[in-house]
Amino acid sequence: MERQHQCRRTVGDHEQQPVRVEAETLHSRRLSYYDLVMAAFVTILLLSNVLGAGKVAVIRLPVIGDWPFGAGILFFPISYVIGDVLTEVYGYARARRCIWVGTAALLFMAFMATVVVALPAAHDWTGQAAYEQVFGQVPRIVFASILAFWAGEFANSLVLAKMKIATSGKYLWTRTIGSTVVGQGVDSLIFYPLAFWGAADWTNDLVLQVLVTQWVLKVSWEALLTPVTYAVVGFLKRHEGVDVYDTSTDFTPFRTRV
């Protein structure tokens, strides 16, 4: 009862020392920044898929030379950073809701892109070919991308929530990086074989090479962002006034109720 009383006194107050609470005690309580973090999560997710997925960029590395990479890798891992923040600050259930919102947004984006690309172009409009190149989607790749995101994010959130309990909330970096290793691993293991195995110009060795390369790059990129994650988590915990633990949480992914 005292813990719940402390939670009621501190939630919503600015710069309060965060109080440890069990996730189920929050229920539908309003939290000041949760909606904004969800909006950031979905925004990064959609933009990284729209603006980054279709471009192959190149960077010149010492000794190695030119190294091509998908431009989306620069920003897509940020969605995992925000996923870490959501689970660490607000708990698994609220992160789960965001993952489902993101999945629904991806599905609608895929549907909208398919319809818009398929609409007959005006006879004097010359941009159809470029539009199809950028926004035209291969169903197999779209399906692989959405499924990989869904499974990878849930694996990431589950591992982080479990590790938080195991470490008693200490060593944040171990669970942000550890959950990313698992989450990005699940994402890559689903996406690349499902999208490219047996496809033209994709040998099995190339699929495996790209899978491992992208996984290492994504994990490394998020590890570099660890100081940013610490700063954001600290800010949100102080302003929300709570430190959420998922000791008794139902970890099924197939629900959206918090």
> Which pLDDT tens digit goes with each residue over 179-206?
999 999 999 999 999 988 998 888 899 8
Query: 37 or 55: which carries more pLDDT confidence?
Result: 37
Provide the CA 212 distance to its chain's centre, in angstroms.
Answer: 19
**Does the pLDDT of residue 8 top 70, yes or no?**
no
What confidence score (pLDDT) does residue 15 get? Answer: 62
Residue 179: give the domain boundaries.
2-120+128-245
In whole angstroms, give the CA distance from residue 30 to residue 250.
Answer: 21
The mean pLDDT value for 77-96 works out to: 94
pTM of the model: 0.88
pLDDT in tens, 110-154: 999 899 999 999 999 999 988 888 788 778 889 999 999 999 999
Burial of residue 157 (CB within 10 Å: 0-12, 13-18, 19+) is: buried
Residue 119 tokens read as 């609409």
One DSSP character per residue, 31-75 reads -TTHHHHHHHHHHHHHHIIIIITT-EEEEEETTTEEEEEEGGGGT
Element containing residue 57 per DSSP (H, E)? strand 56-61
Residue 214 lies in a domain: yes
User: Nearest 10 degrees: CA dihedral of 50, 56, 60, 66?
Assistant: 170
Tell whether the model's pLDDT for residue 177 goes beyond 80.
Answer: yes
| Beta-ladder partners of 69 | 57
pLDDT of 237 higher than 60: yes
Place of tokens 């959405």: 146
CATH number of the domain to which 6 belongs: 1.10.1760
In a domain, 254, yes or no: no
199 inside domain: yes
Give the pair of three-digit tokens for residue 78.
Answer: 């940020």
Instruction: Establish if 163 belongs to a structural domain.
Output: yes
Pairwise CA distance, residues 5 & 195, whole Å: 51
Q: Is residue 252 part of a domain?
A: no
Q: For residue 90, what is the DSSP state? A: H
Give domain status of residue 66, yes or no.
yes
Residue 94 is assigned to a structural domain of this protein: yes
Q: What is the spatial distance between Cα 173 and Cα 187, in angstroms, rounded to a whole number?
A: 21
How many domains are there within the chain?
A: 1
pLDDT > 70: what percent of the chain?
Answer: 91
**Element (H or E) spanning 67, and its range?**
strand 65-70
Q: Is residue 179 part of a domain?
A: yes
Tokens representing 2 are 């005292």
| DSSP one-letter code for 24 | G
